[in-house]
Amino acid sequence: MEPTPDVVRHFHPVLPSRQLRRQPVRVELAGHAYALFRDGSGQAAALSDACPHRFAPLSKGTVTKEGQLQCPYHGWRFDARGQGFNPSQPELRHCEAKSFQVVERHGYLWLAHASTPVSAMPELAGGDYVFGGTFSTLFQAPLHVALDNFSEDEHTPFVHTRLGWSGAQAGAVEFEAHNHEDHTEVHYRAPQRPAPIMRLLMVGKGDVFHNDWVTRFDPVRSVYTVRWTTPSGAPRPFTTQAHIFFVPETARTTRLHVFSFLRTAVPALRPLLPVAAKAALGLTWWEVRDDARFIPTVADTPYSHKGMRLDKYDKPLVHQRKLMERIYYAHEAHEAPEPRPALPRVHDATGT
| Burial annotation 140-152 (CB, 10 A radius, 16+ → b, else e) | ebbbbbbbbbbbb
Say what the pLDDT of residue 186 is: 97
Say what the pLDDT of residue 351 is: 41
User: From CA 172, how far away is CA 275, in angstroms rounded?
Assistant: 32
Question: Quick one: what percent of the chain has pLDDT higher than 90?
Answer: 82
Q: What angle do CA 146, 250, 298 make, to 5 degrees?
A: 35
Q: Is the pLDDT of residue 344 over 90?
A: no
Q: Where in the chain is the domain with CATH 3.90.380.10?
A: 124-304+312-328
Say what the pLDDT of residue 4 is: 59
Q: Write down the CATH number for the domain with range 124-304+312-328.
A: 3.90.380.10
Say what the pLDDT of residue 127 is: 82
Say what the pLDDT of residue 125 is: 76
The closest alpha carbon to 3, from 183, 222, 253, 332, belongs to 253
Q: Where in the chain is the domain with CATH 2.102.10.10?
A: 12-119
| CATH (one of 1.10.3720.10, 2.40.340.10, 2.102.10.10, 3.80.30.20) for 12-119 | 2.102.10.10
Say what the pLDDT of residue 2 is: 52
Residue range 306-318, pLDDT digits in tens: 999 999 999 999 9
Say what the pLDDT of residue 5 is: 61
Per-residue confidence band for 346, with pLDDT thresholds at 50, 70 and 90: very low
Q: Is the pLDDT of residue 208 over 80?
A: yes
Q: Is the pLDDT of residue 149 over 80?
A: yes
User: From CA 46, how far away is CA 100, in angstroms rounded?
Assistant: 5
Per-residue confidence band for 350, with pLDDT thresholds at 50, 70 and 90: very low
Residue range 238-268, pLDDT digits in tens: 999 999 999 999 999 999 999 999 999 999 9
Q: Mean pLDDT in the chain?
A: 91
Say what the pLDDT of residue 200 is: 79
Residue range 171-182, pLDDT digits in tens: 899 999 999 999
Rounded average pLDDT over 31-43: 96
